[in-house]
Amino acid sequence: MADFIFEANIAHYTKLLTAETDVGKIAMIHKLIVEERAKLAEWHAKNPRPKAAE
């Protein structure tokens, strides 16, 4: 469930970038995206997906 939130946040911030023109806001949005991607990577490292049955 947490991974869904991280992915939704990344999508939201990415969408914000398409319309933003202020350099300061763009930098902040990039920072937020990097932070969310790091959280998602950490979550995946702690919660590996089970391997599919062969």
- Which residue ranges make up each domain of the chain? 2-46
pLDDT at residue 53 in the model: 66
pLDDT digits (tens, 9 = 90+) for 1-54: 788 999 999 999 999 999 999 999 999 999 999 999 999 999 999 988 877 766
Around Cβ 8, how many Cβ atoms within 10 Å?
11
Residue 43 has a pLDDT of 93
Residues 44 and 54: their CA atoms lie apart, in Å, by 22
The SS3 of residue 21 is: coil
The answer to whether 31 touches 51, Cβ cutoff 8 Å, is no
39 sits in which H/E element: helix 23-46
**38 close to 9: Cβ distance less than 8 angstroms:** no
